Amino acid sequence: MLEKGYTVLDRSFYDRSDVVKIARQLLGKILITWFDGQFTAGRIVETEAYNGAVDRASHAYGGRRTARTEVMFGRPGTAYVYLCYGIHHLFNVVTNKVDVPHAVLVRALEPLHGVDVMLDRTRKQVPDNTLTRGPGNVSKALGIYTIHTGMDLLESNMVIAEDQYMVKKSAIGATTRIGVDYAGPDALLPYRFIVKDNPYVSGKRK
């Protein structure tokens, strides 16, 4: 099912303690879904790290464990999808060991496969750089909804893979996270990673 040359990331990639490092290393990796026989994939060009219990910007701040946040306490490599503003579905991948609620939000992709399907799902006419720009658009283009929360990204029809492509270190930028002003001092942390100059990267901040 996977394109030749794509390798699904192993559990060990996610099963590490430094979520900030994982967020940075996810740049250049490929998010793939094949729902209803429709294959869509894009290269990750923007991520944000959410550092669990000690991060005021995280849903799991203070170890808050509820029905919604429960998947973040689960196995590394699990999808955490939730509804934001009653409209947008945001896709994250859970990292670190069980009971440590780390997660990385995928904020933007560069489309690789299934652009026609993405256009259909987003009801757009032209494949411009807004197609998979911003976390709400990423999920919409790939067909990701809250029903997919808890899915294993190693053994399902939604995975993160890699190929030979590598993002140059000099092309990676780190900034503060978007839309987390409520997090006080933690809003200032450089936990957002982007591929500089990529047209699919969201936001106006550098």
Partner DNA sequence: CTGACGATTCACT
Partner DNA sequence: GTGAATCGTCAGC
Single out the residue of 63, 179, 184, 199 in contact with DNA (rule: CB under 7 A): 179
Question: Across-strand partners of 44?
Answer: 109
Q: Does 126 contact DNA by CB under 7 A?
A: no
Residue number with CB closer to DNA (124 or 163): 124
Determine the interface stretch with DNA among 10-18, 62-70, 155-163, 189-197 (rule: CB under 7 A). Answer: 62-70
Site string for DNA, 17-56 (x = CB under 7 A): -------------------------------x-x------
Cα 143 to chain centroid distance, Å, stands at: 14
42, 114, 135, 173: which one contacts DNA (CB under 7 A)?
135
Residue closer to DNA (CB basis): 48 or 170 = 48
Nearer to DNA, 111 or 134 (CB): 134
Could you tell me the two tokens for 170?
Answer: 């000099």
Question: What is the DSSP track for the chain?
Answer: -PPTT-EEPPHHHHSSS-HHHHHHHTTT-EEEEEETTEEEEEEEEEEEEE-GGG-TTSTTGGG---TTGGGGGS-TTBEEEEEETTTEEEEEEEESSTT--EEEEEEEEEEEE-HHHHHHHHT-SS--TTTTBSHHHHHHHHT--GGGTT-BSSSSSEEEEE-S----GGGEEEEPPTT-GGGGGGGGS--EEEETT-TT--SS--
The yes or no reply on residue 103 touching DNA (CB under 7 A) is: yes
Q: Quick one: 168 or 182, whose CB is closer to DNA?
A: 182
Least distance from C-beta 122 to DNA, angstroms? 7
Judged by CB, which is closer to DNA: 169, or 206?
Answer: 206
Q: Does 178 bind DNA (CB under 7 A)?
A: yes
Residues that bind DNA (CB under 7 A): 48, 50, 57-60, 64, 66-69, 72, 80, 82-88, 90, 92, 103, 105, 122, 130, 133-138, 146, 177-180, 182, 202
